[in-house]
Amino acid sequence: MILATHFIVGAAVATNIPNPLLGLLAAIFSHYLLDIIPHRDYSIENLRRQRWKESLGDFSKTGLDFAVGVLVVFYFAKDPLFGFLAGSLAIIPDQLAFLSAGFFKSKLLAAHQNLHCYLPDAVGRLAGYANAEEFSKKIPLLLGAAEQLLIIVVAIFFLLK
Protein backbone atom coordinates (compact mmCIF):
# COMPACT_ATOMS: atom_id res chain seq x y z
CA MET A 1 0.00 0.00 0.00
CA ILE A 2 1.09 3.57 -0.51
CA LEU A 3 1.95 5.73 2.51
CA ALA A 4 -1.28 7.77 2.34
CA THR A 5 -3.38 4.61 2.60
CA HIS A 6 -1.44 3.34 5.62
CA PHE A 7 -1.46 6.79 7.23
CA ILE A 8 -5.20 7.38 6.81
CA VAL A 9 -6.20 3.86 7.86
CA GLY A 10 -3.93 4.01 10.91
CA ALA A 11 -5.53 7.29 11.96
CA ALA A 12 -9.04 5.94 11.37
CA VAL A 13 -8.37 2.78 13.37
CA ALA A 14 -6.80 4.58 16.33
CA THR A 15 -9.43 7.31 16.56
CA ASN A 16 -12.19 4.70 16.78
CA ILE A 17 -10.69 2.79 19.71
CA PRO A 18 -11.62 4.29 23.09
CA ASN A 19 -8.28 3.46 24.74
CA PRO A 20 -5.66 5.73 23.11
CA LEU A 21 -2.74 3.37 23.78
CA LEU A 22 -4.58 0.41 22.26
CA GLY A 23 -5.59 2.66 19.38
CA LEU A 24 -1.97 3.55 18.65
CA LEU A 25 -0.92 -0.11 18.81
CA ALA A 26 -3.78 -1.00 16.48
CA ALA A 27 -2.61 1.73 14.06
CA ILE A 28 0.80 0.06 13.81
CA PHE A 29 -0.78 -3.39 13.42
CA SER A 30 -3.09 -2.05 10.68
CA HIS A 31 -0.03 -1.64 8.46
CA TYR A 32 0.72 -5.35 8.49
CA LEU A 33 -2.93 -6.24 7.88
CA LEU A 34 -3.17 -3.89 4.89
CA ASP A 35 0.01 -5.32 3.40
CA ILE A 36 -1.57 -8.78 3.34
CA ILE A 37 -4.01 -7.51 0.70
CA PRO A 38 -2.44 -7.91 -2.76
CA HIS A 39 -1.81 -4.36 -3.98
CA ARG A 40 0.24 -2.16 -6.27
CA ASP A 41 2.95 0.20 -5.09
CA TYR A 42 4.84 2.86 -6.98
CA SER A 43 8.50 2.21 -7.61
CA ILE A 44 11.14 3.68 -5.32
CA GLU A 45 13.92 1.60 -6.84
CA ASN A 46 16.39 4.49 -6.93
CA LEU A 47 16.03 4.93 -3.18
CA ARG A 48 16.37 1.20 -2.57
CA ARG A 49 19.55 1.09 -4.63
CA GLN A 50 20.85 4.33 -3.09
CA ARG A 51 21.16 6.04 -6.47
CA TRP A 52 20.85 9.48 -4.95
CA LYS A 53 21.26 11.52 -8.13
CA GLU A 54 18.26 9.72 -9.66
CA SER A 55 16.17 9.71 -6.44
CA LEU A 56 14.47 13.11 -6.68
CA GLY A 57 11.38 11.56 -8.28
CA ASP A 58 11.20 8.87 -5.60
CA PHE A 59 11.52 11.43 -2.80
CA SER A 60 8.86 13.56 -4.51
CA LYS A 61 6.44 10.63 -4.76
CA THR A 62 6.86 9.58 -1.16
CA GLY A 63 6.72 13.18 0.09
CA LEU A 64 3.54 13.93 -1.85
CA ASP A 65 2.05 10.62 -0.74
CA PHE A 66 2.78 11.43 2.91
CA ALA A 67 1.41 14.98 2.52
CA VAL A 68 -1.86 13.67 1.06
CA GLY A 69 -2.27 11.34 4.04
CA VAL A 70 -1.59 14.15 6.50
CA LEU A 71 -3.98 16.56 4.76
CA VAL A 72 -6.79 14.01 4.68
CA VAL A 73 -6.36 13.22 8.38
CA PHE A 74 -6.19 16.89 9.37
CA TYR A 75 -9.27 17.66 7.29
CA PHE A 76 -11.49 14.74 8.34
CA ALA A 77 -10.37 13.59 11.81
CA LYS A 78 -12.17 14.87 14.88
CA ASP A 79 -8.83 14.88 16.73
CA PRO A 80 -6.29 15.72 14.02
CA LEU A 81 -3.24 15.68 16.29
CA PHE A 82 -4.02 12.21 17.63
CA GLY A 83 -4.83 11.13 14.07
CA PHE A 84 -1.45 12.48 12.93
CA LEU A 85 0.34 10.54 15.67
CA ALA A 86 -1.54 7.35 14.80
CA GLY A 87 -0.94 7.79 11.09
CA SER A 88 2.75 8.40 11.71
CA LEU A 89 2.97 5.19 13.73
CA ALA A 90 1.13 3.29 10.98
CA ILE A 91 3.87 4.06 8.45
CA ILE A 92 6.78 3.10 10.70
CA PRO A 93 7.02 -0.44 9.24
CA ASP A 94 7.77 1.03 5.81
CA GLN A 95 10.31 3.41 7.32
CA LEU A 96 12.04 0.49 9.03
CA ALA A 97 11.99 -1.45 5.75
CA PHE A 98 13.59 1.52 4.01
CA LEU A 99 16.32 1.72 6.66
CA SER A 100 17.01 -2.00 6.38
CA ALA A 101 17.36 -1.70 2.58
CA GLY A 102 20.91 -0.55 2.91
CA PHE A 103 21.38 2.19 5.45
CA PHE A 104 21.65 0.15 8.62
CA LYS A 105 22.46 -3.51 8.90
CA SER A 106 21.13 -5.00 12.08
CA LYS A 107 19.57 -8.26 13.14
CA LEU A 108 16.55 -6.38 14.52
CA LEU A 109 15.87 -4.57 11.22
CA ALA A 110 16.39 -7.82 9.29
CA ALA A 111 13.94 -9.62 11.59
CA HIS A 112 11.40 -6.84 11.08
CA GLN A 113 11.84 -7.02 7.31
CA ASN A 114 11.21 -10.77 7.41
CA LEU A 115 8.02 -10.19 9.41
CA HIS A 116 6.98 -7.34 7.13
CA CYS A 117 7.27 -9.61 4.08
CA TYR A 118 6.19 -12.95 5.54
CA LEU A 119 2.38 -12.80 5.37
CA PRO A 120 2.13 -10.93 2.04
CA ASP A 121 4.60 -13.41 0.52
CA ALA A 122 2.56 -16.32 1.88
CA VAL A 123 -0.54 -14.90 0.19
CA GLY A 124 1.42 -14.52 -3.06
CA ARG A 125 2.63 -18.12 -2.84
CA LEU A 126 -0.93 -19.33 -2.20
CA ALA A 127 -1.92 -17.58 -5.41
CA GLY A 128 0.82 -19.46 -7.27
CA TYR A 129 3.56 -16.82 -7.36
CA ALA A 130 7.04 -16.74 -5.84
CA ASN A 131 6.22 -13.85 -3.50
CA ALA A 132 3.93 -10.87 -2.90
CA GLU A 133 5.85 -8.57 -5.23
CA GLU A 134 5.54 -10.94 -8.19
CA PHE A 135 1.82 -11.43 -7.43
CA SER A 136 1.19 -7.70 -7.07
CA LYS A 137 2.83 -6.94 -10.43
CA LYS A 138 0.04 -9.00 -12.04
CA ILE A 139 -2.62 -6.67 -10.61
CA PRO A 140 -3.59 -4.09 -13.24
CA LEU A 141 -2.55 -0.57 -12.26
CA LEU A 142 -6.11 0.78 -12.46
CA LEU A 143 -7.44 -2.02 -10.23
CA GLY A 144 -4.62 -1.44 -7.73
CA ALA A 145 -5.38 2.29 -7.60
CA ALA A 146 -9.12 1.67 -7.26
CA GLU A 147 -8.50 -0.79 -4.44
CA GLN A 148 -6.49 1.74 -2.44
CA LEU A 149 -8.95 4.54 -3.17
CA LEU A 150 -11.78 2.37 -1.84
CA ILE A 151 -9.80 1.62 1.32
CA ILE A 152 -9.13 5.35 1.78
CA VAL A 153 -12.83 6.22 1.32
CA VAL A 154 -13.85 3.63 3.92
CA ALA A 155 -11.16 4.95 6.29
CA ILE A 156 -12.44 8.52 5.81
CA PHE A 157 -15.91 7.28 6.74
CA PHE A 158 -14.46 5.98 10.00
CA LEU A 159 -12.51 9.19 10.59
CA LEU A 160 -15.81 11.05 10.44
CA LYS A 161 -17.47 8.80 13.05
Question: What is d(CA 159, CA 8) in angstroms, rounded to the nearest whole number?
Answer: 8
Q: Which pLDDT score is estimated for 57?
A: 83
Predicted pLDDT of residue 102: 64
Q: pTM of the entire structure?
A: 0.90
CA pair distance 34, 152, nearest whole angstrom: 11
How many structural domains are present in the chain? 1
In the chain, DSSP finds a helix count (H) and a strand count (E) of 9, 0
Rounded to an integer, what distance in angstroms lies between the CA atom of residue 29 and that of residue 119?
Answer: 13
Q: Is 38 inside any structural domain?
A: yes
The gap from C-alpha 63 to its chain's centroid, in whole angstroms, comes to 13
Residues of the chain short of pLDDT 50, as ranges, are none
Residue 100 lies in a domain: no
Pick from 22, 34, 1, 27: nearest CA to 12: 27
The answer to whether residue 124 is domain-embedded is no
* Angle (CA) 150 152 157, round 5°: 95
Residue 135 lies in a domain: no
Residue 55: give the domain boundaries.
3-91+140-160
Neighbours of 7 (CB within 10 A): 31
Residue 23 inside a domain? The answer is yes
- Tell me if 25 is assigned to some domain: yes
Residue 129 pLDDT: 82
- The answer to whether the CB of 70 falls within 8 A of the CB of 87 is yes
- Specify the pLDDT at position 141: 85
96 within a domain of the structure (yes/no): no
Q: Say if 99 falls within a structural domain.
A: no
